[in-house]
Amino acid sequence: MNPLLTVENLHKDFVLHGQGGTALEVMSDLSLELHAGECLVLAGRSGIGKSTLLKMLYGNYLARHGRIRVHFSDGPLELTELPAHAWHPLRRDVIGYVSQFLRVVPRVSACEVVMEPLLARGADAQEARLKAETLLARLNLPERLWQLPPGTFSGGEQQRVNIARGFIGEHPLLLLDEPTASLDAANRAEVVGLVHAAKARGTAMLGIFHDQDVRSQVADRLLLLDDHLTARTTPPGQHS
């Protein structure tokens, strides 16, 4: 089976303009493959670049060089060269992302936050609401909170809204940045269930899970980033 996602020789550095242009190199020559129905878990010490890799795959950060390709039936799409306007349909239809923290928008209810990815694709509002409520109930978010904006929710409640929003779209590729970090055991188990259900539908997932128990339940493979990355600073002007 051909991979859905391939990453080849990816390099990343951050140029710190506030520090006289010092370049912080965080990724050197990273390659990986990810297949439909597979969950690849990123491992490695804190600060090695796990979240940075997810943000590069989602188009939040640019690569210095290397290739990131999503393979469709009619050919590959090179993401490192994608124009800004092409990211919107790609995120709407192909790449989902559960970030570490929910981006709270004032006056938008938890249920509307979760429904939004389906509405963006033109789904029926009733159907989207029903799916959102089903997911929020599954993740044990109390019904009294569904119509409230999540700004005042606890960390774990916000994270469950975020998880529901990430999974509702059933994207073919899903990026998961510590989705279980603020959750109790019962809700961690629900997330494990959501990951298994997504795998069964053929979703390819790349995730960060610090909890060993969750990791062992969801991971088909581990990618230890220490083997692939370097983290060193380069003085200003010496980065290409």
Ligand X SMILES: Nc1ncnc2c1ncn2[C@@H]1O[C@H](COP(=O)(O)OP(=O)(O)OP(=O)(O)O)[C@@H](O)[C@H]1O
* Ramachandran sector of residue 20 (left: φ over 0; alpha: ψ -120 to 50; beta: rest): left
What is the distance between the alpha carbons of residues 116 and 96, in angstroms, rounded to a whole number? 13
Smallest gap from Cβ 49 to ligand X, in A, equals 4
User: Does 52 help bind ligand X (rule: CB under 6 A)?
Assistant: yes
Q: Find the binder of ligand X among 49, 150, 166, 179 (CB under 6 A).
A: 49
Smallest gap from Cβ 200 to ligand X, in A, equals 28
User: For residues 60-82, b (16+ Cβ closer than 10 Å) or e, as one string?
Assistant: ebebbebbbbbeeeeeeeebbee
Smallest gap from Cβ 45 to ligand X, in A, equals 7
Number of residues that bind ligand X (CB under 6 A): 10
Contact code string over 7-46 relative to ligand X, x by CB under 6 A: -------x---------x-x-------------------x
User: Does 73 help bind ligand X (rule: CB under 6 A)?
Assistant: no
What is the distance between the alpha carbons of residues 54 and 108, in angstroms, rounded to a whole number? 26
Smallest gap from Cβ 186 to ligand X, in A, equals 24
Q: Given the complex with ligand X, which of 42 and 141 has the nearer CB atom?
A: 42
Q: Given the complex with ligand X, which of 50 and 165 has the nearer CB atom?
A: 50
User: Does 50 help bind ligand X (rule: CB under 6 A)?
Assistant: yes
Q: In 3D, which of 197, 163, 199, 161 has the Cα closest to residue 180?
A: 163
Which residues are CB-neighbours of 48 under 8 A, at least 6 positions away?
26, 225, 226, 229, 231
User: Does 87 help bind ligand X (rule: CB under 6 A)?
Assistant: no
What is the distance between the alpha carbons of residues 189 and 154, in angstroms, rounded to a whole number? 19
Smallest gap from Cβ 210 to ligand X, in A, equals 7
What is the distance between the alpha carbons of residues 191 and 182, in angstroms, rounded to a whole number? 12
Contact code string over 141-170 relative to ligand X, x by CB under 6 A: ------------------------------
Residues lying near ligand X in the complex (CB under 6 A) are found at: 14, 24, 26, 46-52
